[in-house]
Chains A and B, each alone.
Chain A
Amino acid sequence: EAAVTQSPRSKVAVTGGKVTLSCHQTNNHDYMYWYRQDTGHGLRLIHYSYVADSTEKGDIPDGYKASRPSQENFSLILELASLSQTAVYFCASSAPRVDQDTQYFGPGTRLLVL
């Protein structure tokens, strides 16, 4: 199975602080995604990337930045963390080819902003 890892697995941050969540995949996938999961909201797309050095805004990008320095790595950056950003964050990757486009999710990062 495809391998997507995330770090840290959990984090406590202070309001106004900077938080960086990291994602690494060894699937040779071109596409990578960041989602947040909140109870009652399912999975919502924050940012995604089709290729290294390029990122796209998802459905809820406000308050988040993303960085894709290489095919394998994709980071999510909260410059000024807020209480409302407490959530579980999932990274995922997929290949662009039809029938190989399953999104594989990492284990998630639990972020608590105090």
Chain B
Amino acid sequence: GEQVEQLPSILRVQEGSSASINCSYEDSASNYFPWYKQEPGENPKLIIDIRSNMERKQIQELIVLLDKKAKRFSLHITDTQPGDSAMYFCAASVGGSNAKLTFGKGTKLSVKS
């Protein structure tokens, strides 16, 4: 099945700096790549996603890049704030279906003020 590798597992940044999380996948048929944010004791919530017909997508301070040739995608959070501290998960669709996702193991982001 699809495998998604996510790095780093822990990321500590200073408030106001940028944070980057990288994911790679194996299945060239994957076409949907969502990112979820999970705060302690809460459920995962979608923050941004990108489909295979795009290379870049931005929502406010969140930027997602997709390199289909390299089978890599990444999340960049610009001007980080303490409220950005959380677990972040990337995911990739299994094959061409957007119904089934494989998740990375997560990145714990800590933003220090």
Task: Check: A65 CB closer than 8 A to any chain B CB.
Answer: no
Q: Which positions 9-64 of chain A face chain B at CB distance < 8 Å?
A: 31, 35, 40-45, 48, 50, 58-59
Interface contact B43-A44, CB-CB below 8 Å: no
Chain B's nearest CB lies how many Å from the CB of A22?
A: 16
Any A CB within 8 A of the CB of B86: no
* Interface residue? B25 (CB, 8 A): no
Contact A105 B45 (CB under 8 A): yes
Interface residues on A, range: 20 to 34
Known: A42-B89, A101-B32. A106 touches B102 (CB 8 A): no
Inter-subunit contact A101/B99 (CB<8 Å): yes
Q: Which residues of A contact B102 (CB under 8 A)?
A: 45, 59
B46 within 8 A of A: yes
Contact of B43 among A59, A96, A102, A105 (CB under 8 A): A105
What is the minimal beta-carbon distance from A14 to any residue of chain B, in angstroms?
25
Complex contacts, A90 vs chain B, CB 8 Å: 43-44
- Known A-B contacts A40-B105, A42-B89; the reply to A48 vs B43 at CB < 8 A is no
Q: Which of A40, A44, A101, A104 contacts B103 (CB under 8 A)?
A: A44
- The docked-state distance in angstroms from the alpha carbon of A105 to that of B87 is 15
Structural contact, B105 and A45, CB atoms closer than 8 A: no
> In this complex, what residue of A is CB-closest to B89?
A42
**Pairwise interchain contact A94-B99, C-beta atoms closer than 8 A:** yes
B83 within 8 A of A: no
Q: Which A residues form the contact surface with B (CB < 8 A)?
A: 31, 35, 40-45, 48, 50, 58-59, 90, 94, 96, 98, 101-108
| Interface contacts beyond A31-B99, A42-B106, A103-B34: sample of 13 additional A-B pairs, CB < 8 Å, sorted by A | A42-B89, A42-B103, A43-B89, A43-B103, A44-B103, A45-B100, A48-B99, A50-B99, A58-B100, A98-B51, A101-B98, A103-B46, A107-B43
